[in-house]
Amino acid sequence: MVQQWGVEPSDAVSPLVLALDVGSTASRGALFDAHGRPVGKRAKILHSFTSGPDGTSEIDADQVVTELSSIIDKLLRRSGPSRGHVIGGVALDTFASSMVIVDDEGRALTPCATYADSRPHAFVDVLRGEIAEADLHQRVGTRIHTSYWPARLRWLQAERPELVEQAAHYLSLGDYVLWKLTGTLATGTSSAAWTGMVDLRTADWSEEVLELSGIDRSKVAPIHHLDQPLSISVAGETAIAKRWPALTKAKWFAPIPDGLAANVGLGAADETTIGGTAATSGALRVLVRDLPERLPGGLWCYRVSHDRALVGGALNDVGRAIHWATSALALGSPVGGVRGALTGHGPGAAAAALTAALSAAPSSTTPLVLPFFTGERSTGWAANARAVFTGIDASSTGAAMARGVVEGIAISYGRILAQLRELAPGASALHIGGSVTTEHPVALQIVADTLELPLTPVTIKRSTLLGNALLALETVAPGVERIGPVHGGTLEPSEESAGYYRERVGRFEDVYQAQFG
């Protein structure tokens, strides 16, 4: 196996892949060689979602197009291939479950709604009254939820009929970016599946769900599988060659969601390994070749190509919840509360206070927290859920409540794992990556203890970009030996803590049923 991680352009092996990633907090890009090794430095542009108390969660789609165009410019200028190297592919992934509405001239009529936008929550119940959700779940792999398109489309038809009248196409963010960069209208199988509108068996748009959602096939983009590069129009090729001559020979691939890219980049590319993400949001996923006969009610199953599917569950709030805990609870302040937050103690003190809280032995006085700050996806799909704190008394500290948040996140991962084991009983390893694994590594021991499963952090910062590139390399550089992910030390679960977390899991379920059951 190739061991060297990063290489300079002069040492890269052709063909190269230019990989682009749009996450919740930034757009990123990097070049990878035929072995999957990053070439030179990556490029990154920070951004954030616009949110509101009504459930709004959006980002300007044209802003993202500008960010990615700038990243391509920077990569080709700063880390462009040396003489004799060829960029063989361009691969794009974005956060999933997004929507941009465009008119017949390709102009965005709306900002991009993100997976966390919960404004259509009332139409979740409307749709559940019109169709048997459990049966639909088995046919398309998703539940009815604000993260998916059916509820959003029905909400738009009721609340924004004038906008619907102008709509020529409904696109995922990646589809929109691709159209702007290449002039090609297309979506990846996985991006389409993440809308909740793709038939699991055919890997094509579900006519049943299109009709349920009030649109027809002409309003969505054609689906392309992982091994089907796009056919770029002459006009699109001319525009690409004019701005980016180094991409003249590159195959462009339809966009995919970051969850699929992350799993592959983490080294979780088959049924033996669970891929975990702990970033702004989180997930546990297994990539399978055979579709499950029956899908557990708390999980999703997305077709990602003609020969693969991804099963798992997602959490809206992981890094987002930890950030809330460290800031709102004024960790690191010697006084505490709002007054303490104003005393000038910075993020270093807050991080140290959180680390101390998470490193301490489990305590029965730790508040129990259901960490649904922006709603719940897996496993209960309570779209309008919000965080719940229980067991707080006059002696409870901000540090204890912050630990309760992290324990609640770990239990939420555990709820997903329990159902994943029904579909992938042979998955004995968990590889996890994302910003939380590097910024708050001590939290991972709590996750391992709660899941009672060995946990291996993937320490590279660009695992999603790597996975995106590896998928493209399957087509542009078949048969070439690939690099493996860079791992940290495996964390073994503590037998001494097992009883504590099992009791916590039981209490969590009791509170969940009382609040949202």
Distance CA 460, CA 322 (A): 21
My answer on whether omega of the bond before 296 falls inside 30° of 0, hence cis, is: no
234: number of Cβ within 10 Å: 8
Question: SS3 for 371?
Answer: coil
What mean pLDDT do residues 104-131 have?
A: 95
Per-residue model confidence as pLDDT tens digits over 479-493: 999 987 778 899 999
Asked if 5 and 12 touch (Cβ cutoff 8 Å), the reply is no
Mean pLDDT score of the chain: 92
Distance CA 174, CA 491 (A): 35
Residue 429's φ and ψ, nearest 5 degrees, are: -125, 150
- pLDDT exceeds 60 at position 71: yes
Per-residue model confidence as pLDDT tens digits over 362-401: 999 999 999 999 889 999 988 789 999 999 999 999 999 9
- Going across the sheet that includes 273-278, the strands are 300-303, 309-315, 282-288, 273-278, 429-433, 455-457
pLDDT confidence band for 6 (50 / 70 / 90): confident
Per-residue model confidence as pLDDT tens digits over 29-40: 999 999 999 998
Per-residue model confidence as pLDDT tens digits over 237-293: 999 999 999 999 999 999 999 999 999 999 999 999 999 999 989 999 999 999 999
Question: SS3 for 382?
Answer: coil
Asked if 443 and 325 touch (Cβ cutoff 8 Å), the reply is no
pLDDT confidence band for 2 (50 / 70 / 90): low
Asked if 18 and 75 touch (Cβ cutoff 8 Å), the reply is yes
- CA nearest neighbour of 160 among 207, 214, 116: 214
- pLDDT exceeds 80 at position 97: yes
What mean pLDDT do residues 137-159 have?
A: 96
Please give, one letter per residue, the 3-state secondary structure of 53-87.
CCCCEEECHHHHHHHHHHHHHHHHHHCCCCCCCCE
Asked if 429 and 454 touch (Cβ cutoff 8 Å), the reply is yes
CB-based contacts of 420, cutoff 8 Å, min separation 6? 274, 284, 286, 299, 311, 312, 313, 427
What mean pLDDT do residues 1-26 have?
A: 86
Distance CA 310, CA 64 (A): 26
Residue 206's φ and ψ, nearest 5 degrees, are: -85, 115
pLDDT for position 215: 97
Per-residue model confidence as pLDDT tens digits over 313-370: 999 999 999 999 999 988 876 544 433 333 345 568 888 999 999 999 999 999 999 9
pLDDT for position 341: 35
pLDDT confidence band for 159 (50 / 70 / 90): very high
- Of residues 347 and 216, more confidently modeled: 216
pLDDT confidence band for 460 (50 / 70 / 90): confident
pLDDT for position 389: 97
CB-based contacts of 480, cutoff 8 Å, min separation 6? 13, 34, 35, 473
Distance CA 27, CA 22 (A): 4
pLDDT for position 342: 32
- CA nearest neighbour of 64 among 118, 108, 18: 108
Helix or strand holding residue 155 (H, E): helix 149-159
pLDDT for position 284: 97
Q: Which residue reads 């990154």 in tokens?
A: 44
pLDDT confidence band for 426 (50 / 70 / 90): confident
What mean pLDDT do residues 447-465 have?
A: 91
**How far lies 57's CA from each of 46, 99, 478, in Å?**
17, 11, 40
Asked if 256 and 89 touch (Cβ cutoff 8 Å), the reply is no
